[in-house]
A and B are shown apart, each in its own frame.
Chain A
Amino acid sequence: MTDLVPGSNSFATSNSPTTTLAPLRTVPAFGLYAAHVRALLTETVRIPIAIIGSMVFPAMSLLFFVVPNRAIADDPVAATQAVISLSVFAVMVSALFNLGLTIAENREKPWDPYLRSLPLPATVRIGAQLTATSALSFAAIVPVLLVGWIATAAEVSPLGLVLGLVVLALTNVPFLLLGVSIGYAFPAKAAIAVIQVGMFGFAFAGGLFFPPQFFPDWLDAISRVIPARHARDLVISAVEGTTPDVWMLLGTISWTIGVAALAVWLYRRDEGHRFR
């Protein structure tokens, strides 16, 4: 019977102090970030159809809603603002959809949980996702710019174009982080619904479909806290060479900080999606 008495306790957990080994060596964050950006872009480029939708829709909006309306299309100022609005829309949709949906889907697959077992800081993974999606977002405005250049009176100086693109990239950061947050907060099917409601809400309230000059006061007041409005007005300022208002800058900076904190918190909280 002695054989069968379990658990000689020679292996019981000791109460010795925590083992501290030699400092663990880690790799430089930038190289790791570059490796993740490369892998994410490679994955997307090998299935290009995934990004076609976000590239075509904004250009079609310009073609069907702005180009036939000659009062706008033939007016250089109005046409330029319309092209800018739809460029903001294009990068916003791309950021929310590509990031939000991709992250939500990946959480339901086993590769993402595996990456979390590697010595990979949250900020590096999120930073790589933002960069890869930004690159794709900018592909999405090429058709918009082409349609605007060929079929409307929109005009821009070379300096205005460069400044406009830089400001567009910076003001897109809150949407990228919002995409990350949605991806980590919702399962894929719920993420689609949230993204669709969010992107059209932002587009209308932010003045991307109808210029905010025509908004009633109450709607304009709401519009001034919407990040799409900040992005639109700041890019217009950059392209036209005017001085931006303080509320636009404060708005976009507040959104960036707030959503960045939300995204990091949601990433750290996440343990992969579980079906019950």
Chain B
Amino acid sequence: MSTSRSMATLARLDGVSRRFGDTLALDDVSLDIRSGEILGLLGPNGAGKSTMLTLLQGRRRPSSGKVELFGGDPTDARSRAELGSTPQETALPDTLRVGEVVDLVAAHFPARVSTAELADEFGFADLLRRQCGALSGGQKRRIAVALAFVGRPSLVLLDEPTTGLDVDARHGLWAAIRRHRAAGTTVVVTSHYLEEIEALAERVVVVDHGRVLVDDTLDAVRSRVDSAIVSLRTDRTAEVAALPGVVRAVGNGLDQAEKTSDDGGAATEASTNMADSGRLNLTVADSDAFVRALVASTLPFERLTVRGASLEEAFLALTLAERTTS
């Protein structure tokens, strides 16, 4: 693949685990962040995305494994000289004016962007004299993202950058992020919105339960996440579930389809609650191909419906596929 050509590795997690009390937030994660890419970290809330970022920022230490930033330890301030990050929008100190906050953050970097230039680019020139406590959530969000770029960093970590923004503001921010990418900045962006990752990322890492499930190009991940749910009734559930293209099957009298789910959870619950004998819900990658295969197989079926899988279902399918092969 073209993205695997040699590029400098700016940061690295190597066999990193992190516990918070009894919770294992990251479980043996290894990841290289290479220069010149926009890397999307995609996963549901609580998947471990933010923990990965706080480790790279040197705000936390791993319980085991090694974290490297620009060849050094991220807890050493010097290693963070070319790192840009975004505060939570609730973080900006209420009493300071916007311009004062920009200047304070910029003071940490030798080649800062001027306040006026940054404000123009991110559209808050009219807010520089306002105290942060007087800003709306969306205004704070835009300023918080802008702060990540004030020091002309070579690596930027953006944690849920457009959460709570309206559509215009979101597209404006995406455009700004792409401009910096084009100027050579490497960007890591976390999101639980597939749309946001699709709009920005070239390489996608899917994270869930503290593990990296997938690490691939956007197109490859999209084709896998972009699955459909086919629902039908049949009295030959096992044979239908065994058709090519089925990632996950849930239904009555279908024990073998549960083999992929080692913790049972939702799948078992769904099958026991299924009063309607012979009803099958199949997660498939390509619903057209599956329907053709189903018809060609001459297996009996009725009441067929097809709908797009939600992101949750797509993640679940990815998790199961991952477990089956490992």
Give chain A's interface residues, CB within 8 Å of chain B.
1, 3-8, 10-14, 16, 18-21, 24-27, 31-32, 35-36, 39, 42-43, 46-47, 109-111, 113-114, 116-122, 268, 271-272, 274, 276
Q: How far is the CB of B323 from chain A (nearest CB, A)?
A: 10
Q: How many angstroms between the C-alpha atoms of A11 and B217 in the bound complex?
A: 9
Whether A119 contacts B322 in the complex (CB less than 8 A), given A25-B110, A47-B95, comes out as no
In the complex, what residues of B have CB within 8 A of residue A113's CB? 54, 59, 91
A110:B90 contact, CB within 8 angstroms: yes
Closest 7 CB pairs of A and B: A110-B91, A114-B87, A117-B57, A35-B107, A24-B81, A13-B30, A20-B71
B8:A21 contact, CB within 8 angstroms: yes
Interface residues as binary, B11-49 with A (CB distance below 8 Å gives 1, 0 otherwise): 010100000110000000011100000000000000000
- Any A CB within 8 A of the CB of B78: yes
B32:A111 contact, CB within 8 angstroms: no
Q: Is the interface of B mostly helix, strand, loop or mixed?
A: mixed
Q: How many angstroms between the C-alpha atoms of A13 and B9 in the bound complex?
A: 10
In the complex, what residues of B have CB within 8 A of residue A110's CB? 87-88, 90-91
Q: Which of B10, B59, B157, B216 contacts A11 (CB 8 A)?
A: B216
- Any A CB within 8 A of the CB of B213: yes
Whether A8 contacts B220 in the complex (CB less than 8 A), given A13-B32, A21-B8, A42-B96, comes out as yes
A19:B9 contact, CB within 8 angstroms: yes
- Of all chain A residues, the one with the shortest Cβ separation from B68 is A18
Q: Which of B54, B61, B82, B95 contacts A46 (CB 8 A)?
A: B95
B322:A35 contact, CB within 8 angstroms: no
- Of all chain A residues, the one with the shortest Cβ separation from B144 is A114
Interface residues as binary, B188-218 with A (CB distance below 8 Å gives 1, 0 otherwise): 0000000000000001000000000111100
16 A-B pairs with C-beta separation under 8 A: A3-B223, A5-B321, A6-B214, A6-B322, A8-B216, A19-B71, A21-B8, A25-B111, A42-B95, A43-B95, A46-B95, A46-B131, A116-B59, A117-B59, A118-B80, A119-B80
Q: How far is the CB of A19 from chain B (nearest CB, A)?
A: 4
Q: How many angstroms between the C-alpha atoms of A272 and B88 in the bound complex?
A: 14
Q: How many A-B residue pairs have CB under 8 A?
A: 147
B103:A111 contact, CB within 8 angstroms: no
B214:A10 contact, CB within 8 angstroms: no
- Any A CB within 8 A of the CB of B245: yes
A119:B9 contact, CB within 8 angstroms: no
B14:A13 contact, CB within 8 angstroms: yes
Q: How far is the CB of B171 from chain A (nearest CB, A)?
A: 25
B91:A109 contact, CB within 8 angstroms: yes
Q: How many angstroms between the C-alpha atoms of A39 and B106 in the bound complex?
A: 13
Q: Tell me the count of chain B residues lying within 8 A, CB to CB, of chain A.
A: 66
Q: Which of B60, B75, B100 contacts A42 (CB 8 A)?
A: B100
In the complex, what residues of A have CB within 8 A of residue B21's CB? 276
A6-B322, A26-B77, A36-B107 known; 14 other A-B pairs, CB under 8 Å?
Answer: A6-B321, A10-B1, A14-B9, A18-B68, A19-B10, A20-B71, A21-B70, A21-B71, A35-B104, A111-B92, A114-B91, A119-B77, A271-B59, A276-B21
In the complex, what residues of A have CB within 8 A of residue B100's CB? 39, 42
Q: How far is the CB of B54 from chain A (nearest CB, A)?
A: 8
B81:A119 contact, CB within 8 angstroms: yes
- Any A CB within 8 A of the CB of B325: yes
Q: How far is the CB of A200 from chain B (nearest CB, A)?
A: 31
A14:B32 contact, CB within 8 angstroms: yes
- Any A CB within 8 A of the CB of B247: yes
Q: Which of A21, A39, A111 contacts B87 (CB 8 A)?
A: A111
Looking at B77, B88, B322, B325, the one whose CB has the most chain A CB atoms below 10 A away is B77
- Of all chain A residues, the one with the shortest Cβ separation from B30 is A13
- Any A CB within 8 A of the CB of B224: yes
Q: How many angstroms between the C-alpha atoms of A19 and B70 in the bound complex?
A: 7
Looking at A42, A109, A119, the one whose CB has the most chain B CB atoms below 10 A away is A119
In the complex, what residues of A have CB within 8 A of residue B70's CB? 19, 21, 24
Q: How many angstroms between the C-alpha atoms of A258 and B187 in the bound complex?
A: 42
Q: How many angstroms between the C-alpha atoms of A137 and B12 in the bound complex?
A: 45
- Of all chain B residues, the one with the shortest Cβ separation from A122 is B77
In the complex, what residues of A have CB within 8 A of residue B96's CB? 39, 42-43
Q: How many angstroms between the C-alpha atoms of A1 and B61 in the bound complex?
A: 40
Q: How many angstroms between the C-alpha atoms of A1 and B325 in the bound complex?
A: 12
Q: How far is the CB of A266 from chain B (nearest CB, A)?
A: 14
Whether A19 contacts B8 in the complex (CB less than 8 A), given A4-B321, A13-B31, comes out as yes
In the complex, what residues of B have CB within 8 A of residue A272's CB? 59
- Of all chain A residues, the one with the shortest Cβ separation from B9 is A19
Q: How far is the CB of B64 from chain A (nearest CB, A)?
A: 15
Q: How many angstroms between the C-alpha atoms of A276 and B216 in the bound complex?
A: 35
In the complex, what residues of A have CB within 8 A of residue B77's CB? 26, 118-122
- Of all chain B residues, the one with the shortest Cβ separation from A36 is B104
Q: How many angstroms between the C-alpha atoms of A110 and B91 in the bound complex?
A: 5
Q: How many angstroms between the C-alpha atoms of A47 and B133 in the bound complex?
A: 13
Q: How many angstroms between the C-alpha atoms of A16 and B57 in the bound complex?
A: 22
- Any A CB within 8 A of the CB of B230: no
In the complex, what residues of B have CB within 8 A of residue A268's CB? 75
Q: How many angstroms between the C-alpha atoms of A106 and B207 in the bound complex?
A: 31
Q: How many angstroms between the C-alpha atoms of A117 and B53 in the bound complex?
A: 10
In the complex, what residues of B have CB within 8 A of residue A35's CB? 103-104, 107
Q: How far is the CB of A160 from chain B (nearest CB, A)?
A: 38
